[in-house]
Structure 1
Amino acid sequence: MNTLVSKPWVLARIFEPDVTIVDCRFILGQPTAGRDAYEESHIPGAIYLDLEADLSDPAAEHGGRHPLPDVERLAALLGKLGMNNDTRIIAYDDQGGSNASRLWWLLTYIGHENVYVMDEGFSAWTGAKYPVSKDQAIRVPSTYTAKVKTEWVVGVETIRDVISGADDSSNVVLIDSREPRRYAGLEEPIDKKTGHIPSALNKFWKGVHDEHGRWKSAAKLQEHFADMPKDRELIVYCGSGVTACPNILALREAGYDNVKLYAGSWSDWISYSENPVATGKE
């Protein structure tokens, strides 16, 4: 799929007129840290999109900690920032690709075809002595039209059907992207309940990286997901629908086509008191 691109690939394209680079740096619990870092230094020409303010809707009783943004609001924002349906969009962060993958997922979900995630992140960019800037580019507004791929996302009712054995749930695999200790119910630093959705298998999202923190090759990703069947539907979740996205990107790089996001994820699941939870290993 060639969604993952290298620093040199990005460097060669930063001034091409149909390219928009998006800085997605964000630190959970430090809501201004990403924008502060962007304003201090970023890839030349890059704009900033905030995980919570731009790439999520406000949290409510249900829907998880990072609900998907309203599609029309997102499309209007992209247009205001000078992007249209033909723009080549390159996302980066400094969090292992988790936030950049969220943007990749959202853009693909609304029908965008030319979206890429830069490998490694901003620290590696500066470590390689590549150019940086404090300037914020003037953007000429454009028009963006969303064409939503509804099949890319599922809600809580679908997950309930899966674990109850309803419909064709035997052809579905749930994948939990959180740290193994959170999955097993041994600790939970963020959400109100410990454990995981019954029947879910654990694939910690950072497993898509090699020992140097770079994304694994397609061949290595195929090895990483070798225990995941390609003839079944895969539904991926995490704590709030963000770190599930690098797993989804990696699965698609490895040749899996039927991969969906449970957008509300664990924080949505436990907002319903009647939903069962499991602990330990499946």
Structure 2
Amino acid sequence: MMKNIVSVDWLYENLENENVIPVDCRFYLDNKDQGQEEYHDAHIPGAHYADLEKHLSGTVHEHGGRHPLPELNQFVNFLESIGVDETKTVVAYDAQNTAMAARLWWMLKYLGHEKAYVLDGGFQAWEKKNYPLTEKLPETEKTTFNPDIQYDMVADLNEVKDATENDDIVLVDARDEARYLGKTEPIDPKAGHIPSALNRFFMENIEQGQWVSSSQLKERFEELTDKPVINYCGSGVTACVNVLALDEIGKKSKLYIGSWSDWSSYDENQVETERK
């Protein structure tokens, strides 16, 4: 068991533990109902479903990005409805190389909930072991969740602007190289990246569906460990995977929630297309 990551074997052995709550975060941007449909077809026993856009995001406006945080009370109500309080261990999983699960992990940490983990290998690793699946929806008693907001986990637009002109703060872009370099942009209004940002594609934390070792993560992020880091991606989802990876090696970092979808919504914001 790593700091933030549990194996499918560990979850299987703890399925009957009433203090362990699996949460299915499967979500597909190109078919927004598919994840929930898959959940209803088959999920890990005891798992609740968390929808990226219904539960883990708020209302989209002109600025603020494609997946802004939901209203705090709404998210707290959701957690309470699935039985999460300070005594519960939450294990988030998806079928998207931890992208959606890491968003839930990050949001729980942001609310001060320490017992938050992601499932190594996700739904695919569970299936590969032929561990049990069910259509049955879990029964849960509503609880009370008391948030303790960790405001220092978030970077706002002004902090990001300052970072573009400050060599002592590192911006890290979690998108793939083609989007980072502005060669393609399938979603947002501008192509490229925030000036001064480095590229660390979130998928490179994963090999053949499993998380790489802590030593590999240390090597990958070695040059970032002595400076403050602000992570971003397209809309504040896949960057959570890099936040988790850094936390795994003992490095606290911030998330720019609006990410590129917020940055690129302002005409005056500069864009780069060259590798730093």
Matches within 5 A, 1:229-244: 230-244=225-239
* 1:189 partnered with 2:183: no
> Once the 2 structures are TM-superposed, how far is the Cα of residue 213 of structure 1 from its aligned partner?
2.1
The corresponding residue for 1:274 is 268
> Once the 2 structures are TM-superposed, how far is the Cα of residue 123 of structure 1 from its aligned partner?
1.8
* 1:214 partnered with 2:210: yes
1:40-79 C-alpha deviation (Å, 9 max, x unpaired):
0000010000000000002111110000111221111111
Say which is worse superposed, 198-207 or 152-161, in terms of deviation.
Answer: 152-161
Instruction: Return the TM-score normalized by structure 2.
Output: 0.97
* Letter paired with 1:147: D
* Letter paired with 1:144: F
Provide the identity percentage: 44
* 1:174 partnered with 2:171: yes
* Letter paired with 1:206: M
The corresponding residue for 2:126 is 125
* Letter paired with 1:263: I
The corresponding residue for 1:250 is 245
**Corresponding residue SS for 1:227:** helix
CA contact (8 A) 1:41 1:134 kept: yes
* 1:102 partnered with 2:97: no
1:218-277 C-alpha deviation (Å, 9 max, x unpaired):
11111111232x2210000000000000011001112212x0000000000011111111
Instruction: Return the TM-score normalized by structure 1.
Output: 0.95
CA contact (8 A) 1:110 1:148 kept: yes
Q: CA–CA distance in 2 between the matches of 1:128 and 1:9?
A: 12
The corresponding residue for 2:3 is 2
4+ residue runs over 6 A deviation: none
**Corresponding residue SS for 2:223:** coil
CA contact (8 A) 1:24 1:49 kept: yes
**Corresponding residue SS for 2:36:** helix
* Letter paired with 1:181: A
Q: CA–CA distance in 1 between the matches of 2:184 and 2:98?
A: 24
CA contact (8 A) 1:72 1:146 kept: no
Q: CA–CA distance in 2 between the matches of 1:111 and 1:41?
A: 31
Uncovered stretches (5+) of structure 1, i.e. residues with no partner: none
Q: CA–CA distance in 2 between the matches of 1:141 and 1:255?
A: 34
Q: CA–CA distance in 2 between the matches of 1:213 and 1:254?
A: 20
Cα RMSD (Å) of the superposition? 1.0
1:186-210 C-alpha deviation (Å, 9 max, x unpaired):
1111111100000000000001012
* 1:162 partnered with 2:158: no
1:99-148 C-alpha deviation (Å, 9 max, x unpaired):
00000000000000101100011122112110010000111101111110
Q: CA–CA distance in 1 between the matches of 2:40 and 2:25?
A: 12
The corresponding residue for 2:94 is 93
1:139-159 C-alpha deviation (Å, 9 max, x unpaired):
110111111000000111111
Q: CA–CA distance in 2 between the matches of 1:90 and 1:132?
A: 16
Q: CA–CA distance in 2 between the matches of 1:174 and 1:121?
A: 28
1:19-56 C-alpha deviation (Å, 9 max, x unpaired):
11100000012110100000000000100000000000
Residues matched between the structures, number? 275
Matches within 5 A, 1:31-180: 31-163=32-164, 165=165, 169-180=166-177
Q: CA–CA distance in 1 between the matches of 2:113 and 2:204?
A: 27
**Corresponding residue SS for 1:154:** coil
Say which is worse superposed, 19-28 or 69-78, in terms of deviation.
Answer: 69-78
